[in-house]
Every structure is written in C-alpha cells, then in structure tokens.
C-alpha cells in the first residue's frame, strides 16, 4: 500500500543525525484509503515511524488525505 510503503522508506532512511538535528515528532491524521493515525518520531533515540499514535506527544499534527500525504513525500 502506498502509505505503508512511504512510512517503510522513511523508517529505513532515519539516522541518529536526523533525530539529533530535528528533535520533533510528527503525527499524520490521514483520511481516505489507508486512513488513520501515523507518525514519524525524530525525537526519541533511534527514531521511529509507523501506524498508530506516536510513542511520545506529537509536536506537530497534520490532517490530510492519504493521497495528499503520498504526494507530499514522493
């Protein structure tokens, strides 16, 4: 699925340097196909990304369609 694949790529590209330089947690509330809550955690050690609520409180919450999310990251 496009959204899950996008998060898989993001997770694979994360590094401690990204976490150290960003220090932010992003939550995406997506509507449409593959809708739901997804996150990118660039604050916790090692970083993480995936489906569900972030492990710590989000610094930024974005609401958009899943199609727009995929367009934004591709």
Instruction: Return the closest-CA partner of residue 24 out of 38, 37, 43.
Output: 43
pTM: 0.92
Task: Give the pLDDT confidence of 13-27 residue by residue, as tens digits.
Answer: 999 999 999 999 999
What is the per-residue pLDDT for 60? 98
Three-state SS for 9-60 is: HHHHHCCHHHHHHHCEEEEEEEECCCCEEEEEEECCCCCEEEECCCCCCCCE
pLDDT value at position 14? 94
Distance of CA 12 to the CA centre of its chain: 12
Backbone angles phi, psi at 57, to 5 degrees: -60, 135
The pLDDT value recorded for residue 74 is 87
Mark the ranges of the chain whose per-residue pLDDT is less than 50: none
Residue with tokens 């995929």: 70
> Per-domain residue ranges for the chain?
2-72
According to the model, what pLDDT value does residue 59 have?
A: 98
CATH number of 2-72: 3.30.1050.10
């Amino acid at each position: 699925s496009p959204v899950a694949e996008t998060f898989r790529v993001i997770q694979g590209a994360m590094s401690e340097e990204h976490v150290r330089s960003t220090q932010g947690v992003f939550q995406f509330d997506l509507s449409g196909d593959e809708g739901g809550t997804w996150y990118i955690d660039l604050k916790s050690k090692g970083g993480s990304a995936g489906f569900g609520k972030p492990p710590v409180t989000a610094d930024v919450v974005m609401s958009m369609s899943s199609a727009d999310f995929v367009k934004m990251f591709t």
